Amino acid sequence: MNALEPSTLALFWAAVIALSILLYVILDGFDLGVGILFGANGDDSHRQRMIESIGPFWDGNATWLVIVGTGLFAAFPAVYVVFLGAFYLPVLFLMLGLIFRGIAFEFRHHGTRMRAWWDRGFFLGSAVAAFVQGAAIGAMIHGIPVEDGQYAGGPFLWLAPLPVLTGIGLVAGYALLGAAWLALKNEGELQSWAFSRIPWLAAAVLAILGAAMVFTFDYSDLVRGHWAERPWGRLFPALGLLSLLATVVSALNKRDVAPFICTVLFFISAYASLGVMFWPHMIPYSVTVASAAAPDASLRFLFYAGLVVLPVIALYTIGVYWLFRGKIRPAGIRGSDG
């Protein structure tokens, strides 16, 4: 096999990590989005319903982030080293945001005196976690300098203009996903409140992504070259735009399920567009799947372990969403529909 070509096992684990990232973005994205919207709704009864909407799911959703981290460490150690070197501070802020929002999520139920502080913490933890994820994406689009297998840039690469723009964009995108989830899981005033936010959030996402695309194409010859070499990839941005428009139309027509499905399709399209720009690089534009992969003997051992672990996690996730399907009723009573 050509040394520049990844092995079948390397491709398998790259696909597992890519799928895990996508599942994390969608599943943890909607509950981070609910946390972001939490700060924009001052009605205590609405806030309680928002908490109940994500209560059965939020801690399990982050499992896919653990799969990503352990998968990179074991299967692509070169990527793990460079990524942590480049994004040490964003990863630290991500962990702090997720930890703090988890504490706030639990503690707000144990008394009213500190509830306002815990509510602010839940909002801020969600917003910070979303922003640093988006900033990391922008920094990856910008390109990560690597020398001798080590990160060769400064500690604040993720605070350049493009990463800041994509960070704000992901905050808006997660909020859009969260609004669609609230519309799916609720009825009455809170559902109407969520529907009313969807068009504005979709417009913000479209404007920010449009600016980010202009910035990217103006800056990177390599990105322009990838799109020129892969004209079929233009299908994904087109599908993303149609999905975003369908999200708005379905929200204006008060459809319960369609806004969430369309928003998920938008995220899938955006993720596929990143794949068109990055492939075959795992660290754009210097570390490829082939160059970063662990030896096949290690990947083979991980493969057998993955055959046990990954189906269990997938079945657990499916089971939780099936068990808690339907609308959230007052006092946390789940609806019987679905």
At 338 the pLDDT is 33
Cα–Cα dist 163/137, whole Å = 7
In tens, the pLDDT along 156-197 reads 888 888 899 999 999 999 999 999 999 999 888 889 999 999
The answer to whether 61 touches 279, Cβ cutoff 8 Å, is no
Q: How would you classify the pairing of strands 146-147 and 150-151?
A: antiparallel
Q: How would you classify the pairing of strands 146-147 and 281-283?
A: unpaired
The residue ranges of every structural domain in the chain are 15-332
pLDDT band at 324 (very low <50, low <70, confident <90, very high): confident
pLDDT band at 227 (very low <50, low <70, confident <90, very high): confident
In tens, the pLDDT along 21-53 reads 999 999 989 999 999 998 888 778 888 888 888
- Burial (CB count within 10 angstroms: exposed 0-12, middle 13-18, buried 19+), residue 318: exposed
Q: What share of the chain is helix, strand, coil (3-state, %, to 5)?
A: 80, 5, 20
pLDDT at position 336 over 50: no
At 337 the pLDDT is 39
Candidates 1.10.3720.10, 1.20.1630.10, 1.10.10.410, 3.90.245.10; CATH matching 15-332: 1.20.1630.10
- Mean pLDDT, range 7-23, rounded to an integer: 92
- Mean pLDDT, the chain, integer: 86
Cα–Cα dist 213/138, whole Å = 10
**Phi then psi for 293, rounded to 5 degrees?**
-70, 145
Q: How would you classify the pairing of strands 287-288 and 150-151?
A: unpaired
**Bond prior to 145 in cis (omega within 30° of 0):** no
**Phi then psi for 271, rounded to 5 degrees?**
-65, -45
Q: Which residue's entry shows tokens 């790259």?
A: 14
**How many Cβ atoms are within 10 Å of 134's Cβ, its own excluded?**
26
The whole model's pTM is what? 0.90
pLDDT band at 208 (very low <50, low <70, confident <90, very high): very high
* Of the candidates 136, 127, 121, the residue with the CA atom closest to the CA atom of residue 90: 136
At 201 the pLDDT is 95
Cα–Cα dist 76/78, whole Å = 6
Cα–Cα dist 32/38, whole Å = 10
- Mean pLDDT, range 140-154, rounded to an integer: 84
At 199 the pLDDT is 94
Cα–Cα dist 105/294, whole Å = 39
